[in-house]
Structure 1
Amino acid sequence: MTDNQFKISSSSILNMNPKDLLNYVVFDNPVSKAVLKPFIKNAPVSMPPAPVTIITERVPLWQLAAQQGPFIRLAGICGASAVILGAYGSHKTYPKDRAKELKSIYETANRFHFLHTLALFGVPLCRNPRVTGSLMIVGTVFFSGACYYHAFTGEDKFGRLAPVGGTILILAWLSMVF
C-alpha cells in the first residue's frame, strides 16, 4: 500500500458534515477497517423490512357516527321536538299581565333547545362521546324543561333545575375539549 491510500486531506475533513465525519472516524478510516474486517465478513445480512400495505376503504359518515352511540338519532328527535315546541310557543296565548316575561322565558328555552340539538350532531366527533352526549342531553332537559314549564304554567316549581341544567351544559361543552 502506498501512503496516498491512507492520506486524507485536512480540507476534505473540514468539508464533511458531522454525520460523514463520524462515519469516517468509526468505519471508513484504514485502522477501523482493519479492526472491523473479521466481524463484518461474518456478520449476518439483515433483511429489508417487509413492505407495509395501507388499506383505505370508504366508510359512509353515517356509519362512523353510528359507531359512537345513538346521538345522531337523539339529535333528530330533539330537533323535531324543538320545532314542535317552538311552533306551539309562538301560537300560545300567555296571561296578559305576564305575557312579555313568559314569552321571553319560552324563547330562551327554545333557543337553548335548538342550539344544543345542533351540538348533539358534533358529539360523535368528541374524545368521549358518551360523556359529552349524556351531559348535553341532561343539561338541555333540565334547563329548557324548567324554562318551558315556567313559561307554560306560570309556576316556578322547577326553577331550581335551570341553573343546574346550565351548569351541566357548561360541563358538556368543556368535555368536548378534554
Structure 2
Amino acid sequence: MDLWYILGYGKEALSAFDTLAKALGYQKADGKKEDMKELVKALRILLKPTFSLRIGGLSGIVAVSMAAYGAHVPDLQNNLQRRQIYEKGYKMQLLHSVALAHSENCRFPYVTCGLFTLGILLYSGSCYAHALSGNASYRYFTYAGEATLAAAWFSMLIS
C-alpha cells in the first residue's frame, strides 16, 4: 500500500489500486505483491494526463471555438472560397489535435509533439488569417504547415 502513496496517488485511490492489482493477478490473496512494475507504469500513463494530451486538448478547444466563430462571420458566409479555406483550417486542426494528444506514445515524443504543434499553428493559423483577412499572401505559410505536419506524421511512423 505504501507504494501507491509514494507514487503520488491519494489514500482514496489505494484500495481501488489494490483491488485492480488483485484482479489482474499482480497481488496474491495473502497480500504479497508480485512484480508490479508493468501495472504501475500502465496506471501512471492512464491516470496522469501528459503534456501532449493537454496541448492536444487545448488545440481541440481552439478548433471547436474557431468552427463556432466561423459560422457567424458575415464575410465568410458571403464568400464561398474563403469559407472553404476556413473550414479546412479548423478541420485539419481538429484532426491533428487528436494525433497531438497521442504523441506521447511515440519514440520521440517531444519532437513529434513540437512538429504537430508547429504544423497546426502554421497550417490552420494561415488558413484562418487568409479566410478572415482576404489576404492571399498567408497561403505560403500553409505550405510550410503542410510540410511540418507531414514530418510529424513521419516521426510518428518511425516510432
TM-score, normalising length: structure 2: 0.70
Which of these two proteins has the greater Rg computed from alpha carbons? 1
Q: How does 1:130-145 map to 2 (within 5 A)?
A: 130-145=110-125
Residue 47 of structure 2 corresponds to residue 62 of structure 1: yes
Distance verdict in 2 for CA 1:84–1:95, change over 3 Å: closer
The runs of at least 4 aligned residues of structure 1 exceeding 3 Å deviation read none
Task: Give the count of matched residue pairs.
Answer: 121
Report if the CA contact (8 A) 2:93-2:120 is conserved: yes
Structure 1: gaps (5+ residues):
1-52
CA distance in structure 2 between the partners assigned to 1:105 and 1:146 by the alignment: 10
CA distance in structure 2 between the partners assigned to 1:177 and 1:159 by the alignment: 27
- Match of residue 64 from structure 2: 83
More helix by share: 2
Q: Which moved more, 1:87-96 or 1:145-154?
A: 87-96
- Match of residue 108 from structure 2: 128
CA distance in structure 2 between the partners assigned to 1:105 and 1:62 by the alignment: 38
Distance verdict in 2 for CA 1:95–1:113, change over 3 Å: closer
Distance verdict in 2 for CA 1:125–1:156, change over 3 Å: same
C-alpha distance after superposition, 1:92-127 (max 9, x if no partner): 11268x700000000001110100111112101111
* Identical columns (%): 31
CA distance in structure 2 between the partners assigned to 1:99 and 1:174 by the alignment: 35
Report if the CA contact (8 A) 2:89-2:123 is conserved: yes
Structure 2: gaps (5+ residues):
1-33
Cα RMSD between the aligned structures? 1.7
Measured after TM superposition, the shift of residue 54 of structure 1 is 2.5
TM-score, normalising length: structure 1: 0.63
Match of 1:117 among 76, 97, 119: 97
